[in-house]
Structures are given as C-alpha cells and as structure tokens.
Amino acid sequence: MEKNKLLPVSVADQPPKSQSYARRILSATFFVCLTLYAIKQLFREVVPHSHHRGLPDGVASKASCVQVPPLYPPVNDVKIGEMWEYIQTPAFRNASIVRHSGAVKIPTESFDNMGEVGEDKRWDIMYQFADYLEATFPRMHSDLKVEKVNTHGLLYTWQGSDESLKPLILMAHQDVVPVPASTVDAWTHPPFSGHYDGKFIWGRGASDCKNQLIAVMETIELFLAAGYEPKRTIVMSFGFDEEISGRRGAGHLAGFLHDRHGNNGVAAIVDEGAGFSTAWDQVFAIPGVGEKGYTDVYITVRMNGGHSSIPTDHTGIGVMSELVTMIEAEQYPTYLADENPMLGLLECGASHAPTFPKKLKKLLRKHSTKSQCKAKPDELALEAAKLGGRPVKYLMQTSQAVDVIEGGVKVNALPERTMVTVNHRINIGDTAETVFSHLTSLAKPVAEKYNLTLHAFDGTKEAASSISMYPSENTLEVAPVTPTNVDTITPYAILAGTTRAVYGDHIIVSPGMMTGNTDTRYYWPLTKHIFRYGPGYDPTWDKGLGNVHTVDERISVDNHLGMVKWFTLFVRNMDEAQLE
C-alpha cells in the first residue's frame, strides 16, 4: 500500500464480498499499566480451538494459571462474515488511518486549571470533536440513542432485543494531555498533525486514547452497516476530562448510568488500560483487573516570621525539610496481598514459562499473606521487586512522591508558611488510613521537637505555630479486584478467549494491575467486572504504551486494526454469552 494514496472509505458503505468467514477467521492469529516493559516473555503453549458454548469444558491449565481456548462466535450471518473480511482489506485500513488521523488533529487538551464547563472557553474544542465524530460515524448518530451528559460527555446506547441481559459498556476518553509549547520542536512530526508514515500515526492522543475510542466507534459503525441486531444492549461512554481526574466527564456519566441501571446492573466494562508485553520468552496479554488507590496529602508548616538577619535556628522551610527527609527515608512495605493481581501474574509465569526464575517459583509455592506475620518481610514480593525493578516494585507497594513545595516570599524575610504535597498510590492491602497514620507518626516527633501543634487529618488545614496535614478531595481507596475465574463463562473468560482468538493461542492471558487510575473509578457500583485493557497488539512493535504523555506519542496502524478486530469478536462473544 502506498502511504500517499489514502482513500476515505466510509464504513457505512457495504463491505465487499469475499471468502467465507469461517475459513478466514480460523486462520487469523493475530499499562498499561506502567509495568508492561518490566516483564520478560513466557513460553509457547498451544490449546485447542473452542467454540462459544464449549468454553468451560475446553480450558487448558498448567497449575493455577488456566488458559481459555480461542473463542469465536457462531457463524450464522453472511453479512457479519463479510464484515470481518472487510476489516482485513486495504480499503478498510486506508479508511481507518484517515479516521484516526483526523481525530488526532483536533487538540482536545485538558488542563489542570480548567474552569467549569460553560465558563472556561478551553472546553469548547470538544464541540469540534463531537462534530467530527458525528460526521465520521453517521450511522451511530442516526440509528443509536445519543445523549450528551454535562455538555461534552458522549453516551451512545444500542438497545438490545433481550432486556433480561445486562448491558455491556465500552469506554474511552476524548481529552488528551497538553503539549507544552517548549516541547513542540522536539517532536518528529507536529503533535497534532496526525501524520501517517507508513507504519505509525503520530500525535498527542494517538495511543492515549483516541485509538480506543475510534476503534470502538468503527466496530459499532460496521455492525450497523451489516444490519447486526444485538441481544445485549451496548453502551459507549466517552468522558472528556480523564487526564485531570474525570470529575466533570466520567463522574457525571457514571452517575447518569447508575440512575438508569442501578447497582451491579451492568455485565462488564472495558476501558483503556494495560495491554501486551513479553516476559520469559512468550507474549502476555495483561488486562488490568485491579487498580491502586490514590491520595494527595497536603502538609503545611506555619511559624513566626521575622527579619532574616536575626533568624531562628530553624525556619519553616528547615522544619519542613526535616519532615520530608523522614518521609522519604521510610518507605511503605513491599508485599503481595492475596487479592493482588500481581500474584496471579507470577503464578502464570511459574506455570507456563520455562525460564521463570527458580528462586521466585520456590518462594511462590510457600507464599501466604494470611499465615504471614505482618512484621516479617514478604520475601516473594521483595525478590520480584529486585528482578523487575521499580515498575514491578510499585505494583506491590504504596508509593510516595513529594511533588510540590512552596515556601517563602522574600530573601530577607523568614518564611511564615511552607507547604508540600505528597502524592500516594495505595497498594492493594493498604488503605488511605494506612497513609494517614504513617504520616502522623512521622510528623508527631517533629512537631514536639519544635514546639508546634500537630493537626493531623483532624479537619484543620492551617493554624498558627503548627504542622497541619490533610488529604485531597479526590482520595480514592483501592479499586475492587475484578474476578478472574474461568471455570464458568465469566466476562474475564470471554475477554481471554477473544484475545487468543484474535492474536493466536500462544498468547498467555494473565491478570494485570494498574498503578494509575482510569475513568472507571466512578463506575465501581455498576459492575464487579471492570477491565482496564488496551486490546491492540502489534508483534513488530512491542515497546509499551507508545510514548504516552510525552514527545513523539504514536500508535502503529497494525495495533489499531487489531483493536478493531478484538472489539468485533468481543462484542459478539459477549452477546452470545450465557454469563454465570
């Protein structure tokens, strides 16, 4: 294909007829989390192909890491077969490049200091993006129920024929992190050019996460063009401020959907997240089924001022520095709670990988947090952290980072107010209270030493002659962990079987863990089956997340097309599933 001949073919057009769906699909083999590059390959295991209703009986297992066979929906519609064939064609590839590139060209940046919707004009770019989606995916906007929540939140509902089936929610976000003006010259191609170089689409949002949003919409548009009628209702929910915690977008969308569907009223949710990596000589697919908690803690030291020519022995900055030094000197323990998905990933490595470290396997056999003394070091977690480095370590440890400091206003005046912000990502097994208690224990002797009153998480934000500590409003406890059993037909089993159908049965699907937080933080009451998963994969480009949040963000077109194929099978597999 010549890269300068990209024809904007609409997915609404009738796809061309081709070979049978069954014959072609049987031959198809095709941080997110921040830790994907820390894991090294697994070994090849081949299990038999399986059709949908045979899932529980066809699983293959080695020890505790059960692998679901490739899962295909039944072939019962000629147009759906032709649709699958069309996705494989150069015509669809060219059209998809144009669609995704066009989305990247719209600079839907969200900034930390954004004002409210309707007041801050920087939100208005979202109108342009919504117009682009409507022009690019006309069937979705004419055939589905389209609702706008808090002005820019986009909600598409495709009503299924069987109201007894819980709906499926597919998520993504419209916004992207800003591109600092000082970094524009460092980009190989301009950050909002959507440039296609024959392999990659370049630009901010190309891989975080307009690729997932466009892939979902391409899938649904294709289904509508093929006349597909789902039994299970499908909901597409697209926030617009995920990069600044999602309060205005997903926060409103989730509440809207909760009012409509209620507690546990949704079958499953798929949002952006972890994807594929290699470890111990084999490819892993690592959907994020867990997510760390979050809290920022603000610490303020208030002390008397005065002229710097007759200073006190310790200024507020000095006292704060002493406290910060103590905080950084005492890290939280590294340990694996039984519910931590990282434990499942290690079990998959031990079960399937010929080069899995022998010491790690030995420690894994005897690991049990339930019988382990809290004061005793977790040798398994420490060994895994030693081998995997910081990215792996922080899947098993509450992190702390002193990220912001303010103090003093003039060189000849003693500082009266000094403030720091400490960011925490909370480990599974810990709570926000774990953080608060730890910081209180460190601050107490410092306050006593300098005759300051300690206000630790008592509601007092600042007071004279004091050390005050209080959490941010967006404090978030550790997310509920998604069930990953595959002994029955579960959403995780459907996800795993779909992944192996699209990419090949050599893929090992394992539970994954997110160090960051996605928009799903607002959706917890809707379902216990939440997957933070980027299902696109390009075996020729296994370099993590494609420079997200930094210079030269990009996505390979093969990765994007794999995502379309995955959603195509996943939607149909979920529609056929008799979930337990």
Catalytically active residues are 175, 242
Q: Is 141 part of any known ligand binding site? A: no
Q: What is the side-by-side strand order in the sheet with 288-291?
A: 145-149, 153-158, 234-239, 168-173, 268-274, 530-533, 288-291, 512-514
Cβ-contact 117, 110 below 8 angstroms:
no
Q: Is 367 part of any known ligand binding site? A: no
Residue 274 to residue 252: CA distance in whole angstroms: 24
The angle that helices 557-576 and 491-503 make with each other, rounded to 10 degrees, is 140
From the list 355, 376, 378, 374, the residue with the least C-alpha distance to 366 is 378
Q: Is 549 part of any known ligand binding site? A: yes
Q: Is 173 part of any known ligand binding site? A: yes
Residue 465 to residue 451: CA distance in whole angstroms: 8
Please give the torsion angle defined by the CA atoms of residues 142, 148, 154 and 155, in that order, rounded to the nearest 10 degrees: -70
DSSP letters spanning 110-139: --TT---TTT-GGGGHHHHHHHHHHHH-HH
Helices (H), 262-395: 316-329, 341-352, 358-365, 379-388, 390-393
Residue 14 to residue 85: CA distance in whole angstroms: 12
Q: What's the one-letter identity of residue 506? A: H
Place of tokens 């005065």: 306
- Sequence length of the chain is 580
Local structure of residue 86 (DSSP, 8 states): H
Q: Is 271 part of any known ligand binding site? A: yes
Burial degree of 506 (CB within 10 A; 0-12, 13-18, 19+): middle
Q: Which residues are annotated as a binding site?
A: 173, 208, 243, 271, 549
Which residues sit in the known binding site for Zn(2+)?
173, 208, 243, 271, 549
